[in-house]
Chains A and B, each alone.
Chain A
Amino acid sequence: MRSHLLNLLIYATLVSAYFGILVRRTPAQQFRLGAIIWAAMVGGALILAFLMYPFPR
């Protein structure tokens, strides 16, 4: 799988599911925390990507 975006989405899904289940107790709380972590990871990566866009290597 060569798509950087797809890998980002899969990685963020796995990590956010893991931490959501690990840290919270009820399914609703787990889903909420998982969604926050997922959005932070994906959103953060996309924001960084746009910030770095003017500086290609």
Chain B
Amino acid sequence: MASAAAREDGEALAGAELRRVVIALVAGWAVPGLGHVVIGRFRRGLIFAAIILICFSLGLLHDGRLSLRDREQPFLSTLQVVANAGVGIPDVLARWSVYGEMVYALPRDASFPAYEARSTILRHRARSSLSLYGTAYLWTAGLMNLLLLFDVWDLGLRRRD
């Protein structure tokens, strides 16, 4: 009886811990560093947030590409969008600021009015002499934040200290 109750307690604890880690993962994707804060690693979260947000800000200041999925280059353009979107809410805000809406793809039909508007903005930023640097900063920020989610997972489940 006692061992069954202990096992149930243990399972309930593991379930609660798993829920907390999943919440931390979502929070960590949405706001860099927040995942660590949710699992109680406040200082570590702040340091990573600072690194990633500085990198992201430098990307925007250098006219980095906020990539859009293009049907003509579906694989590469999708990878670019994933790298951009890895940084979470800051990427959403940046897209609102640059494109005027939250867009992640060029319209399917080139005759669609938004196609020309979005591709013009994209081309304009890509033509900037700074865009090469900016794009590297933006993609690095997104990929660093995605990689950080593995750290949140490991720390949250106490697989490492």
Contact = CB atoms under 8 A, between A and B. Distances in A.
Main secondary structure of the interface of B (DSSP, over half): helix
B51 A17 contact: yes
Q: How many residues of B sit at the interface, in one of the four size bands?
A: 20 to 34
Main secondary structure of the interface of A (DSSP, over half): helix
Q: How many residues of A sit at the interface, in one of the four size bands?
A: 10 to 19
A11 to B, nearest CB: 7
Q: Of A15, A21, A22, which is in contact with the most chain B CB atoms at under 10 Å from its CB?
A: A22
B151 A22 contact: yes
Interface string B38-63: 00000010011001101100100110
Given A10-B58, A25-B161, 11 more contacts: A1-B61, A1-B62, A1-B133, A7-B62, A14-B54, A17-B51, A18-B51, A18-B144, A21-B47, A22-B148, A22-B151
